[in-house]
């Protein structure tokens, strides 16, 4: 069976870009892992089930240190988490007589998850029509956030029978097992049955008292919503559990991780090859009027940090902020973002790539005079590397021209291809 990389590898890969690595420690703005289960160390068999929840002291009850269930059965199989084949049989201690996973409700024992993202790999094997639970348009897989109880929670329906995705809030009272579901956002999505999907769902309190909700599938943001209390009472701002629900659905999960996103940069990281979130990524100055470069949180195009380029020009000068041996492929379009202060003596900027020796160190640049640049704002400039360029490239960077004495700071950020 196909195995995907662990969630932690997926998460930290966003930061290990260019020449920057993790060096064994969490970088700035990385997500701290609060809980994880990759199922690799679990023997095949039952992890826990509803019998253990409702009969905690019964002989043979299967309790787990991470999970509990109010409906259904949860198994380990081949290093994966597994729902079992859904049915409506009330399971015994070992779920040997049935699963009751036609309604599958799995949540964490912990209830201290506040601003978090939940990541996991999902393989939705099939929907069933003959479990004893009537088929419904909403059948499929749901992620729970801020789970207080089965009556109060946020439900993100990621795989629905009808091809929809919903962000919902459930609060009591109501007809759905003691609560009412309120739809906060909806879109469509074709479920790829039998294929692996990477799901990332996040919840975060906003400063104005509302709660933000986000859903990514395979790295793409597909749906977002804000709960301002208009529907279903006040937003759910207190920490809670997280979990999964399945309805008439057989599925596998892997690499389940809960990470802290109280830092907004952990929720929306800059994934450019040169993002400067953790360091200057080996960029350097060629001297002269550029006295130094450094990672800085003072200004960023994306994420929370950029590269500060410090100037102290005594007169006219031309210098560069650059990185050696960048892994730019031939034929790539390299996008730079450059910020200039409201007043300066800069006459132009020119992002560039210098090709490798086999191309004779050919220079590919995009010259922009100051008259074509916005001061006090980010400027987006692209450089196209020819398809016959020798790789690896020799240098990538930004050249600055100045016509007189001036001191100040420019910024470069989110350099990608």
Q: What is the pLDDT of residues 13-71, one digit of tens each?
A: 333 333 232 223 333 455 699 999 999 999 999 999 999 999 999 999 999 999 999 99
Q: What pLDDT score was predicted for residue 233?
A: 98
**262 in the same domain as 291:** no
**123 in the same domain as 95:** yes
> Does residue 273 lie in a domain region?
no
Residue 173 has pLDDT above 60, yes or no: yes
CATH of the domain at 305: 2.60.120.260
Taking residues 341-349, what's their average pLDDT? 96
Q: What pLDDT score was predicted for residue 263?
A: 82
HEC readout, the chain: CCCCCCHHHHHHHCCCCCCCCCCCCCCCCCCCEEEEECCCCCCCEEEEEHHHHHCCCCCCCCCCCCEEEEECEEEEECCEEECCCCCCCCCCCCCCCCCCCCEEEEEECCCCECCEEEEEEEEEEEECCCCCCCCCCCCEEEEEEEEEECCEEEEEEEEECCCEEEEEEEEEEEEECCEEEEEEEEEECCCCCCCEEEEEEEEEECCCCCEEEEEEECCEEEEEEEECCCCCCCCCCCCEEEEEEEECEEEEEEEEEEEECCCHHHHCCCCCCECCCCCCCCCEECCCCEEEEEEECCCCCCCCCEEEEEEEECCCEEEEEEEECCCCCCCCEEEEEEEECCCCCEEEEEEEEECCHHHCCCEEECCEEHHHCCECEEEEEEEECCCCCCCCCCEEEEEEEECCCEEEEEEEEEEEC
Taking residues 147-174, what's their average pLDDT? 97
> Does residue 275 lie in a domain region?
no
pLDDT band at 303 (very low <50, low <70, confident <90, very high): confident
Domain holding 198, by residue range, is 7-267
**254 in the same domain as 314:** no
Q: What pLDDT score was predicted for residue 4?
A: 40
**229 in the same domain as 303:** no
pLDDT 10s digits, 359-402: 999 999 999 999 999 999 999 999 999 999 999 999 999 999 99
**174 in the same domain as 114:** yes
Q: What pLDDT score was predicted for residue 30?
A: 53
Q: What pLDDT score was predicted for residue 109?
A: 99
Last residue of a domain, one of 267, 296, 322: 267
CB count, 10 Å around CB of 264? 14
Instruction: Quote the number of domains for the chain.
Output: 2
Q: What pLDDT score was predicted for residue 16?
A: 31
pLDDT, the chain, mean: 92
Taking residues 111-123, what's their average pLDDT? 98
Contact by Cβ (8 Å): 212, 185: no
Last residue of a domain, one of 205, 239, 267: 267
Q: What percent of the chain has pLDDT over 90?
A: 88
Give 271 or 187, the one with higher predicted confidence: 187
Q: What pLDDT score was predicted for residue 31?
A: 64
CA atoms within 13 A on the CB side of 205: 15
pLDDT 10s digits, 199-249: 999 999 999 999 999 999 998 999 999 999 999 999 999 999 999 999 999
């Amino acid at each position: 069976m196909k195995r995907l990389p662990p969630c932690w590898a997926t998460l930290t890969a966003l930061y290990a870009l260019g020449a920057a690595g993790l060096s064994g420690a969490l970088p700035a703005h990385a997500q701290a892992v609060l809980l994880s289960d990759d199922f690799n160390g679990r023997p095949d068999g039952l992890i826990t089930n509803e019998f253990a929840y409702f009969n905690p002291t019964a002989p043979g009850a299967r309790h787990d240190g991470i999970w509990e269930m109010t409906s259904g059965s949860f198994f380990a199989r081949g290093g994966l988490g597994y729902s079992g084949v859904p049915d409506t049989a009330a399971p015994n201690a070992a779920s040997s007589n049935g699963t009751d996973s036609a309604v599958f409700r799995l949540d964490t024992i912990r209830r201290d998850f506040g601003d978090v993202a939940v990541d996991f790999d999902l393989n939705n094997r099939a929907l069933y029509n003959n479990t004893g639970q009537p088929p419904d348009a909403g059948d499929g897989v749901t992620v729970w956030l801020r789970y207080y109880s089965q009556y109060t929670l946020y439900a993100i329906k990621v795989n629905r029978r009808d091809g929809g995705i919903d962000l919902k809030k459930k609060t009591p009272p109501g007809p759905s097992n003691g609560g009412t579901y309120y739809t906060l956002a909806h879109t469509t999505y074709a479920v790829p049955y039998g294929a692996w999907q990477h799901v990332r769902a996040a919840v975060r309190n906003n400063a104005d008292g509302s709660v933000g909700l986000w859903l990514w599938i395979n790295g793409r943001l597909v749906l977002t919503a804000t709960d301002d209390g208009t529907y279903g009472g006040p937003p759910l701002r207190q920490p809670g559990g997280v979990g999964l629900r399945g309805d008439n659905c057989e599925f596998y999960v892997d690499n389940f991780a809960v990470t802290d996103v109280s830092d907004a940069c952990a929720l929306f990281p800059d994934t450019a090859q040169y993002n400067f979130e953790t360091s200057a990524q080996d960029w350097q100055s060629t001297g002269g009027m550029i006295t130094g470069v450094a990672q800085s949180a003072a200004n960023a195009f994306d994420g929370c940090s950029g590269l500060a380029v410090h100037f102290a020009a005594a007169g006219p000068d031309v210098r560069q902020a650059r990185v050696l041996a960048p892994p730019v492929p031939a034929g790539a379009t390299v996008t730079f973002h450059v910020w200039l202060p409201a007043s300066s003596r800069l006459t132009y900027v020119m992002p560039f790539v210098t090709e490798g020796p086999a191309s004779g160190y050919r220079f590919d640049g995009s010259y922009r005079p100051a008259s074509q640049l916005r001061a006090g704002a980010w400027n987006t400039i692209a450089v196209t590397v020819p398809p016959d360029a020798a790789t690896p490239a020799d240098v990538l960077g930004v050249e600055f021209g100045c016509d007189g004495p001036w001191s100040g700071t420019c910024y470069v950020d989110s350099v990608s291809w």
